[in-house]
């Protein structure tokens, strides 16, 4: 078994509108897989349908050898798959301490040695135990995103779904968070599925990329193909040109 995540012909309808129209994606264990596409192309819907935040009506989903449908996900799913969202302000309860935020997933999944695990998780994301009893509303955006990453990693998942994990952050902080994610992937042999509108981020972080448009995957290419212009869809070329037009360097 080499496929960590397999999505086959996934269909997501919102009131008759196909946000995902028979999308298929295969992600190998240890791979870092990018999903790019213009706004509204269905990138977030794809991640949300995998985690059960959105229901899919047709098609199949296999994660770490188990099949899932609709919105129902079991404990084993969340031990295997964790998600980091774009907005660290929305994804962490502001009136909970960091300690509480990190303890919760450990309790849900029945981990022991919680104190040591929390200390280690804070170290791993570069914050240290001085942050343990702060409230999340006392943290900067970058610090919050570090906590969100610690909260995802603390249950030792195999797969991390990352939905624009740095796009709400300042450019200097973005690079730090991307480096942190890259280090965690390396140390833990994680599988990443990363959504970003920023082709620069995807080129830096991913090995393979699916290009989405209008709820469909237009093409899937190795990330080098973007740099070497070895892709076939005209849409991919336009996406690349639009993305380069934004770069100042
Ligand atoms: N809950 C919902 N109800 C109805 N339509 C929705 C819902 N969520 C998303 N959509 C629609 O589905 C389409 C895909 O949205 P999605 O958020 O997946 O796009 P995206 O590629 O992630 O865009 P962005 O880069 O702007 O976040 C859009 O047309 C959006 O308006």
Going from the Cα of 42 to the center of ligand 1, the distance in angstroms, rounded, reads 6
Give the pair of three-digit tokens for residue 64.
């770490």
The edge-to-edge listing of strands for the beta sheet with 66-70 is: 17-28, 3-14, 56-63, 66-70
Q: What is the pTM of this model?
A: 0.93
User: Vertex 211, ends 60 and 10: CA angle to 5°?
Assistant: 15
Going from the Cα of 32 to the center of ligand 1, the distance in angstroms, rounded, reads 23
- What confidence score (pLDDT) does residue 231 get? 81
Q: Which DSSP letter does residue 210 get?
A: E
Residues near 195 by beta carbon (within 8 Å), at least 6 away in sequence: 34, 35, 36, 43, 44, 46, 47, 162, 163, 164
Going from the Cα of 114 to the center of ligand 1, the distance in angstroms, rounded, reads 38
Q: What are phi and psi of 34, to 5 degrees?
A: -100, 150
Q: Which of 11, 15, 36, 45 to mutate to test the pocket of ligand 1 (most atoms within 8 A of CB)?
A: 45
- What confidence score (pLDDT) does residue 90 get? 77
Q: How many residues appear in the chain? A: 249
- What confidence score (pLDDT) does residue 61 get? 97
- What confidence score (pLDDT) does residue 1 get? 57
Distance in Å from the first CA to the final CA of the chain = 43
Residues near 34 by beta carbon (within 8 Å), at least 6 away in sequence: 194, 195, 196, 202, 205, 206, 208, 209, 210, 223
Give the pair of three-digit tokens for residue 89.
């302000």
Which residues of the chain are under the pLDDT cut of 70?
1, 245-249
For CA atoms 54, 167, 230, 27, give the dihedral sign.
negative
pLDDT digits (tens, 9 = 90+) for 63-96: 999 999 999 999 999 999 999 998 877 778 888 9
Report the 10 Å Cβ neighbour count for 94.
Answer: 12
The residue contributing the CA closest to ligand 1 atom 19 is: 40
Q: Which of 18, 21, 34, 42 to mutate to test the pocket of ligand 1 (most atoms within 8 A of CB)?
A: 42
The radius of gyration of the chain's CA atoms, rounded to the nearest angstrom, is: 18
The residue contributing the CA closest to ligand 1 atom 6 is: 14
Residues near 57 by beta carbon (within 8 Å), at least 6 away in sequence: 11, 12, 13
Going from the Cα of 46 to the center of ligand 1, the distance in angstroms, rounded, reads 10
Going from the Cα of 17 to the center of ligand 1, the distance in angstroms, rounded, reads 10
- What confidence score (pLDDT) does residue 218 get? 95
CA dist 5 and 33 (Å) reads 11
């Amino acid at each position: 078994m080499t496929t960590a995540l397999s999505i086959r012909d996934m269909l997501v309808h919102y009131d008759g509108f196909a946000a995902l129209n028979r999308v298929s994606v295969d992600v190998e264990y240890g791979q870092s897989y990018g999903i790019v596409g213009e706004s509204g192309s269905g990138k977030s819907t794809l991640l949300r349908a995998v985690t059960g935040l959105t229901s899919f009506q047709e098609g199949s989903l296999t994660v770490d050898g188990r099949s899932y449908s609709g919105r129902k996900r079991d404990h084993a799913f969340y031990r295997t798959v964790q998600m980091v969202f774009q907005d660290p302000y929305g994804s962490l309860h502001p009136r909970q301490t960091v300690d509480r935020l990190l303890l919760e997933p450990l309790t849900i999944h029945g981990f022991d040695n919680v104190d040591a695990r929390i200390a280690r998780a804070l170290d791993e994301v570069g914050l240290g135990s001085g942050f343990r009893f702060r409230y999340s509303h006392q943290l900067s955006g970058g610090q919050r995103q570090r906590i969100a990453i610690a909260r995802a990693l603390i249950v030792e998942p195999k797969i991390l779904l990352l939905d624009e994990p740095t796009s709400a952050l300042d450019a200097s902080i973005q690079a730090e968070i991307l480096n942190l994610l890259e280090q965690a992937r390396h140390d833990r042999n994680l599988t990443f599925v990363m959504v970003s509108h920023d082709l620069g981020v995807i080129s830096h972080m991913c090995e393979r990329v699916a290009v989405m448009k209008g709820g469909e995957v237009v093409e899937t290419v190795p990330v080098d193909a973007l740099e070497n212009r070895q892709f076939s869809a005209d849409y991919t070329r336009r996406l690349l040109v639009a993305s380069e037009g934004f770069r100042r360097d």
